[in-house]
Amino acid sequence: MANVAVIGAQWGDEGKGKVVDWLASRADIVVRFQGGHNAGHTLVVGNQTYKLSLLPSGLVRGKLGIIGNGVVIDPKALLEEIARVRAQGLAVDPGNLRIAENAPLILPVHAALDRARENARGARRIGTTGRGIGPAYEDKVARRAIRVCDLAEPDTLDAKLDELLMHHNALLAGLGAEPFEKAALLAELLALAPQILPFAEPVWQRLDEARRTGRRILFEGAQAVMLDVDHGTYPFVTSSNTVAATAAAGSGIGPSAVGFVLGIAKAYATRVGAGPFPTELHDETGMLLGDRGKEFGTVTGRRRRCGWFDAALVRQAVKVGGIQGLALTKLDVLDGLAELRIGVGYRIGGEIFRHLPAAPGAQAAAEPVYETMEGWCESTRGARSWGELPAQAIKYIRRIEELIETPVTLLSTSPERDDTILMRDPFED
């Protein structure tokens, strides 16, 4: 039986939380392998709504959750999230949550630098969450990051803070922001240490044991392929690799163990923040999609930009992300629309492309090339079998499969757990 990696196939916010939660019933372990608390997954369970940013979604199913080394962790944000879900009745303790000891930490100085940079960019801002994710990843690559394991060594913390603040305080001063005092930051980290360290371990050992004994592992990605730092709409991207290949490096397991790669996409398209969005709608239909889909970011609270499904972009995500099957969410949002459009390519300077080029100028100039399809009047909301879907909705799904060159293997028809149609169980591959 295969392990499964779940990644977003658009610009994030595709409904990964519900799909991971649903798949977690078949898994033994759920692993977050990249990103930080800039990601948000909303899970609706009966009359409870859980909003998760760092915690693996499988915890809601009572499964072991692991935060891998590819995640950057704000310790205060993590503890606040644990306290919040505990208040909702969810058990979170070192018995069901483990954290990679080599995961980098996000410090207050990272968030301050993130916000100062965005302010300095003015109209050219990227649209980050201002939570310090980018600067924390920079420190990791520059080999000055403070990691979870360092919390157990006060002398190591002391020395590392000297190097880290020498770099960041100079940047903050150049941006007109206040510098940070080492003593206060050191005291804060030492106070957090006894709350974080009980969760820490070399998680690669646990995952190796799980692999060898045949336990099912579900790898949970954050953001999406088109926000990947290498393959996305750079520079309007996140600061980590979001493709399925990162599941191995970001959790400490060999690439052959990742298993089936399931991509998640909405039946239309959304994006939060700045950056190119060729199929974006600025009309009443775009507003309708946003209202029906309740399109507000879990983390940012910002209204998401909405548009037609971009098959050329999702096809690109399928290829670079290693996606073997697609979970299509929010089909019900399209109910009642007389006409639907699917983006099949881009017109750039008189030339037609079937992919979005890497150059920012070309991305900004890309105009969508559409196919038009008839919509459906019947409701798809709550459908739990293929036979309950309107014929025209099935045609729409089949055309998407043809255009993205991969099968739709799972369909979500509402935020509720059980309103799901499974055509192919990824754990059985």
Give the residue numbers annotated as catalytic, written as ranges. 13, 41
Q: What is the identity of the amino acid at 352? A: I
Q: How many CA atoms lie within 13 A of 32 on its CB side?
A: 32
Cα Dmax for the chain: 67
What's the rounded Cα separation, in Å, for the pair 222 and 171?
Answer: 28
Under a CB-based contact definition with an 8 Å cutoff, are residues 399 and 315 in contact? no
Residue 35: strand pairing partners: 71
8 A C-beta contact, residue 296 and residue 40: no
User: Tokens 């950057």 identify what position?
Assistant: 72
What is the C-alpha separation between 33 and 218, in angstroms, rounded?
Answer: 10
Can you spell out the DSSP letters for 84-125?
HHHHTT---STTTEEEETTPBBP-HHHHHHHHHHHHHHGGG-
Query: What are the structure tokens assigned to 389, written together?
Result: 């879907």
Report which residue type is found at 320: V
Q: Tell me if residue 262 falls in helix, strand or coil.
A: strand
Instruction: Map residue 273 onto helix, strand or coil.
Output: coil
Dist CA 15 CA 8 (whole Å): 9
Pick the closest to residue 233 from 171, 296, 165, 305 (CA basis): 305
Q: What is the 8-class DSSP label of residue 21?
A: H
The position carrying tokens 């006409």 is 339
Is the bond preceding 235 in cis, omega lying within 30 degrees of 0? yes
Report CA-CA distances (Å) from 295 to 215, 247, 266, 272: 36, 28, 11, 9
